[in-house]
Structure 1
């Protein structure tokens, strides 16, 4: 295995780091087509707010709509998330770190198409690396597109040296194999983090303090799943339908996002180009020491001196003074921009008004509900697939905890509750619950548990205090 990986390293020296032309390696095909590699590079550029259509000279700037789309989905998906491991305190502690980090890694995954969750042990604790499309390359996957082998790339820059670690992981027949190889590149230009295609010279893992405890090659047996979990955004990958990798949540609206940026540029130009101005002959102004027109203080933006003789006019018919104040077409441009936003919402599975102006919507109650149902379907798909990834991750955490003698569980009790506020907002649901309490359909103590965050014991105690007859509730 290690000899194959060395061959793999050599063959990837000029292919891996640019990230856009990875071909055969390790005696297998890297499961990444050239179309997919190019698409990933484009998504990375957009994630860094460098979309290819931005052109300052043409007045086209990025409105960061992909980030807005990601943030809206992230907030909706996780706003009511409650999750914990209930039968092992050590696992719960390690798992809590992952959930606390979710704001970063989940948004990153939505923005780039997916993410690999790779646990590892250090100092008798379990940490998790969140590896995105830039640093994870699938090697093999099963018939359900579940990745079973892949290469993880890690870079560390110290001074002018770039250290690179390639970690190959493979799951097969209940055995998970790990292989690590490290390289160092001297005189690395840190100002240009785009790799130049060379890994440098192979070094020992012990040469890098952060990697000195890692083994070159080892295996873990009797496992039922790969010891890394991959979550992909549940959107059709029309770049490469055979790929196990995902596409960004905004991918179905990429072209429309470009149109929106361009349209907003026209909208801004309408104000800039139609700005009030006074065109006046130069000889109507005093002159400065350089014999140039001296414009009124604080009015330089208003006046535009012209070479026109104010006493006799000129043959072109220009007047010695003329006020430029055209009628603005801002409403037309704004409506056009808003219509593009609504189409983006439709293509991405958002509700109308998430990006577009909600005041400009003329929709029936049924159309609004259909819009919410579309978003509900998208959010549910994200939650369902993400829950599977979290369950897979918890399985790995338990395997490692068993190795640390911190767990002896065969089954981990993982509770995940996403809430249900996509179709019905919290205030509306609360009002419905109050009506059910009044009608005797919902116990008051359950209402207090749900909306006041009380335990069952606390809620029943409060109800008993409020009840004149002191009715006790059965457990």
Structure 2
């Protein structure tokens, strides 16, 4: 640190000492936040279970000494969240947008591909697919997360906001309209670690269609505390105190909430984590697993032998070497010595491992956990018979998981719809050196957002395609719908496929077999 930096740090610290503003121990101490403190602690506990950071086990050993150790655990919250996130959002997920068509099928005079390609580029530049799946996993574990687009260096970036960084301020029946977002970072000042917190207060006015962002910075020398209110320059010399965005149809942030009512704070708009109501079951499963592992560790074979056999006090008759005596390997721990007594002999001790009892106990708790969180039997357990199953049987076996996945997808769709709208509205504002990135007002000219979530794990795709093709040939399903259902295409791409196929048939009658020519017809406009 240079002399100038040291002086700056000194004067900043002096300002803190004389009282630049309020001191906050926790975020709920802020006068603008009325979230119950229990909600903050609940999310912290969810994070602890997700990290698999379980409390130490306390016990008394053979000598009645109190000991503690790290338990052996199964990381069940991580496992459940990971499975659900990968089932909801994976490489088969596709996003496309296009201007909304009116009842006559016409759209606004705008290049249909411009908006779609713009959104795809913004998402690709932000590594969206990977980041979304990872943050969805954490959101499932903690009850929710948010995404906020912002402008940086002339481009649109995405900020990922965890449940512990997002505090609702105001909400209606549909969504959270105002929120506080907490950003943290650490710096070293005079060899002391300092924690800085940037609080962004996003207040959306539904009548004026404006969002006001107010910034506050806090400094703390204690981890876990928000600290003392300090000047904004402590975070960034160019950080404004207030920013107002006009012409927005919604807040810039988009929140994902785990489906289901928050039964811990019924008035709170926050969701609850997947294991929130099953922590006692997770604890019981971990106890069973921990005790089983300990029993395997401690129940090893032992042989008790007289002391003289381990360390002979004199050379024995018949020894082959004059330089010493036969010895066990230093890593040998099977033979245990005891003091010689008359009549003592070698004693072997074998402890039976209660494998069946522990396995049954563990599977019982895992079955209870599956029922509690809405997973199909066999998702976590391993006691089911492993057989070759048809796709229909797989779908039936995973019905509970499928319902849970469908509920999560509903919330993901809501978040992604809001995110895409916010990106387009920001891009249409003069925030990029006085210019806009696109020229399209989605409030005056609505758009269609197409989200396709791959569900091949639950659906027999081959059987569905064959059945749908028969329905199309009978004239009971539009061709465009067939392509959307079976190939995940947007409506525009599906229409283009149909038109290209019709053109091919018109140019060459032998392109398709006779029994399939009727599927695409003669180009008569059946879509």
Q: 1:141 to 1:334 in 2, by over 3 A?
A: same
Distance in 1 (CA, whole Å) between partners of 2:199 and 2:38 is 23
Aligned pairs for 1:313-392 within 5 A: 313=343, 319-359=344-384, 372-392=398-418
Counterparts of 1:358 and 1:377, CA distance in 2: 23
Answer yes or no: is 1:72 the counterpart of 2:97. no
Shift of 1:221: 2.7
**1:199-258 CA deviation, whole Å, 9 max, x = no partner?**
4x62334x54xx455432122233332221211111332221111111111222211111
For the residue of structure 2 that corresponds to 1:359, the secondary structure is coil
| Total equivalences in the alignment | 435
1:252-286, Cα deviation, whole Å (9 max, x unpaired): 22111111111001211222232111111212223
Q: Secondary structure at the match of 2:164?
A: coil
Q: CA deviation at 1:322?
A: 1.1
> Which residue of 2 is the match for residue 303 of structure 1?
335
Distance 1:71 1:218 in 2: 37
Task: Give the deviation of 1:58 after TM superposition.
Answer: 5.5
Name the residue aligned to 2:311: 286
Matched, 1:91 2:119: yes
Shift, 1:64, TM fit: 0.9
Which SS does the other structure have where 1:117 is aligned?
strand
Aligned to 2:319: none
1:108 paired residue number: 138
The unaligned stretches of length 5 or more in structure 2 are: 1-19, 59-66, 99-111, 315-324, 431-435
CA contact (8 A) 1:270 1:330 kept: no
Contact 1:264 1:337 in 2 (8 A): yes
State the match for 1:122 in structure 2.
152
Mapped to 2, the partners of 1:422 and 1:345 lie a distance apart of 18
Q: Report if the CA contact (8 A) 2:56-2:68 is conserved.
A: no
CA distance change for structure 1 residues 412 and 99 in 2, over 3 Å: closer, same or farther? Answer: farther
Contact between 2:425 and 2:441, CA under 8 Å: does it hold in 1? no
Q: Tell me, yes or no, if the aligned pair for 1:235 and 1:249 is still in contact at 8 Å.
A: no
Question: Which residue in the other structure is 2:296 paired with?
Answer: 271
| Equivalent residue in structure 2 for 1:241, among 266, 287, 291 | 266
The 2-side partners of 1:233 and 1:177 are apart by: 27
State which drifts further: 85-94 or 265-274: 85-94
Q: CA deviation at 1:128?
A: 1.6
Cα distance, 1:42 vs structure 2: 1.2
The separation in 2 between residues aligned to 1:448 and 1:287, in whole angstroms, is 83
Question: Paired residue for 1:251, among 276, 283, 287?
Answer: 276
CA distance in 1, matches of 2:404, 2:270: 18
Instruction: Tell me the SS of whatever aligns to 2:447.
Output: coil
Q: Aligned partners of 1:14, 1:170: CA distance in 2, in Å?
A: 23
Supply the distance in 1 between the matched residues of 2:422 and 2:487 (Cα, whole angstroms). 34
User: Aligned residue for 2:243?
Assistant: 218
TM-score, L = length of structure 1: 0.79
RMSD (Å) for aligned C-alpha atoms: 3.9
Asked if residue 164 in structure 1 is aligned to residue 193 in structure 2, the reply is no
Q: TM-score by structure 2 length?
A: 0.72
Whether the 8 Å CA contact 2:56–2:69 is kept in 1: the answer is no
Q: How far does the alpha carbon of each residue in 1:118-142 deviate from its partner, in whole angstroms, 9 at most, with x for none? A: 2211112111211112222222222
Query: Secondary structure of 2:398's match?
Result: helix
Q: 1:420 to 1:44 in 2, by over 3 A?
A: closer
**CA apart distance, 1:33:** 1.0
- 1:356 Cα deviation after fit: 0.5
**How far apart, in 2, do the equivalents of 1:196 and 1:361 lie?**
51
Within 5 Å, give how 1:387-398 maps onto structure 2: 387-398=413-424
| Aligned residues of 2:40 and 2:164 also touching (Cα < 8 A) | no
Give the direction of change, closer, same or farther, for the CA distance of 1:356–1:228 in structure 2 (3 Å limit).
same
SS, match of residue 403 in structure 1: coil
Equivalent position SS for 2:255: strand
Q: In structure 2, how many angstroms separate the alpha carbons of the residues matched to 1:332 and 1:37?
A: 39
Indicate the residue corresponding to 1:406 in structure 2.
437
Q: Is the 8 A contact 1:280 1:320 kept in 2?
A: yes
Residue matched to 1:4 = none
Moved more, 336-345 or 231-240: 231-240
Q: Tell me, what secondary structure is at the counterpart of 2:360?
A: helix
- 1:49 and 2:52 are equivalent in the alignment: yes
Q: How far apart, CA to CA, are the structure 2 residues paired with 1:203 and 1:288? A: 79
> What do the CA deviations read for 1:359-413 (whole angstroms, capped 9, x no partner)?
3599x99998665222121111100011011111111111101014223132233
Selected match of 2:31 from 25, 31, 34: 25
Distance in 2 separating the partners of 1:438 and 1:394: 36
> What SS does the aligned partner of 1:119 have?
strand
Change (3 A) 1:452 1:47: closer
Structure 2 match to 1:198: 227
2:42 alignment partner, one of 18, 39, 43: 39
The DSSP-based 3-state class of the residue aligned with 1:279 is strand
**Separation in 2 of the partners of 1:379 and 1:12?**
43
Does residue 1:152 correspond to 2:181, yes or no? yes
